[in-house]
Amino acid sequence: MVTLRLAAALFLLWTSPALAGTVSGKLAPGTAKLPKSASTGRAQVLALNIDTMAYGAAAPVARNGKYSLSNLPAGKWALRTSVVALGRPFAAFTSAAIVTKPGQRRSVPLTLKRSKKPRKKKKVRRPHTANINPKDGQAYAGEAIAIEPFLVVGGDASLAGIGKGMGVMQGTELLTKPLCAYTIVEWSRRAEIEREIALSQTEYIDPATKIEEGHLIDPEIIVKGRVEDRPGTPGRVAMIAWLVDAKTGARLSGDVSSVMLDDAVFANVRRLGQLIMRDLICARAKKPAPVTTTPAAPAPPPPSPPVPAAATNVYTGTFSGEAYSEAAFVRQTWNGTIRLDAAQDSAPPVPPPNGAPAGSYRTFTATSGSVDVTIEGRFPGNCALDGTGHIDLIPGFINQLIVQLDVPNPAYVLAFTGLPTDVVQVTRSGGPGCSGTSPFPVFSPWASTGMLAHTAPSFALSDFQAVLTPEAPFDYDYTTRWSLSPG
């Protein structure tokens, strides 16, 4: 019998309701202990198919150790458990190997105990294959996505295990109520999976239990991210994620971020998982497929476009966004136009902005522009507020764009904002004493690339950035968009 020693492998977002069953039970402590509360850690159980290396189900473990894997298809499964806790190393175990039948409901007690000394690692190299099962040609759901361990920046030892455990935790979040079709695959420990498959093909393993070859999926997209300690009173933890191309490493998205107080780390993990699913993975899946037509006669290929010598001296375009404060019950939307002119250039020795690659950059500053703002306040049991306003942008470096030069796919950062004194006159209505007008402060990050630089396919810059902020009075979650053209 093959004992799998894998921290995580492949997650397959497909189940067969007609054949699905349920495996439940209680997880007992052993080599590792269950977290004492949701604020100090979390544990999860995942069912790994021994033949296909695909996960069929995942479930969190309750504080009393109980778990329930529902919608689990019939097959041979290794039950994998993992624990991520503040101040403790990330721990993962193979807790049981079982066989389930169609529609079966069974109870399996598990333990957090390492049952076998790991074998010596040996580096295995395999060529990249298409994301289709080569044995039967079956395509897997959506795009194949891997999650790398997150970099931890700052903080004390209590955050050390969070970055390593983000792959397992975010994989579990993405398996829970997916909003679109995708397949989550393991990448950081893929060599261990391949060694187990190769071992099962030898004459020393019972043929009835060997792992079938040809089912592993290579990722097309990798989720990267950081966990950052934000000192202050009170302290906060920021979690940031973005997508890159698995083959080239090119950035494929803006970043999404979640910031919460440092005693809500695992609630922060869940909110970031929702943003990764909605604004990164499913935003790509919902883009319409390009329309292709077959020409009547083949045309000669066009010449390759030359690498641009430099960016333009002028950018013009539009920006928009919306912000909402749950605590304040206020929604704000805006649309604006802007013109930016070149102000100065910087040479390669100058540090690039916001994680952009080294190179030459040109800074553009606003010379004209304005924004139209709409405010809606709906306070339970109080007056309603409605208002619109027109605000002129401040010329100069307060509104600026920095663009990489001499490359076909430039990195860039932008920040358009207003002044703390900007207000919109709102009208009160909706009940006794609700009349008249008053000034209302404007939330004014009009457009921003966030904490990390974006990359564009050309010098035409069009993208978006979503920011989820802590749940605090008058704190806004917001999304900004921009479309800027050179010349």
Write the pLDDT tens digit of every residue in 255-281.
Answer: 898 888 888 888 889 889 999 999 999
The helix or strand, by DSSP H or E, that contains position 191, with its residue range, turns out to be: helix 190-200
pLDDT band, very low/low/confident/very high, at 76 (cuts 50, 70, 90): confident
Which of 34-38, 368-372, 397-401, 453-457 has the lowest average pLDDT? 34-38
For the record, the structure tokens of 176 come out as 């829970």
3-state helix, strand, coil in the chain (%, to 5): 10, 45, 45
| pTM of the full structure | 0.48
Between 1 and 164, residue with greater pLDDT: 164
Note the pLDDT tens digit of each residue in 56-72.
Answer: 788 898 888 899 988 88
pLDDT band, very low/low/confident/very high, at 317 (cuts 50, 70, 90): very high
CATH number of 10-220: 2.60.40.1120
Contact 446, 371 (CB under 8 A): yes
Note the pLDDT tens digit of each residue in 371-412.
Answer: 999 999 988 888 899 999 999 999 988 999 999 987 888 999
The helix or strand, by DSSP H or E, that contains position 282, with its residue range, turns out to be: helix 282-285
Mean pLDDT to the nearest integer, 288-317: 67
Mean pLDDT, the chain, whole residue set: 80
Contacts 24+ apart (CB under 8 A), 418-426: 418/371, 418/391, 418/393, 418/394, 418/442, 418/444, 418/446, 419/394, 419/444, 422/391, 423/389, 424/373, 424/375, 424/387, 424/388, 424/389, 425/387, 425/389, 426/375, 426/377, 426/385, 426/386, 426/387
pLDDT band, very low/low/confident/very high, at 202 (cuts 50, 70, 90): low
Compute the Cα dihedral for 385, 389, 395, 400 and give only its sign. Answer: positive
Note the pLDDT tens digit of each residue in 121-177.
Answer: 444 444 444 456 554 566 778 888 999 889 888 877 778 788 888 888 888 888 888
Coil vs helix vs strand at 208: helix
Coil vs helix vs strand at 109: coil
CA distances from 154 to 15, 163, 271 (A): 41, 12, 21
Helix boundaries (H) for 89-189: 160-175
Q: Give the whole-angstrom CA distance, residue 84 versus residue 176.
A: 18
Question: Which candidate, 313, 340, 466, places its Cα nearest to that of 400?
Answer: 340
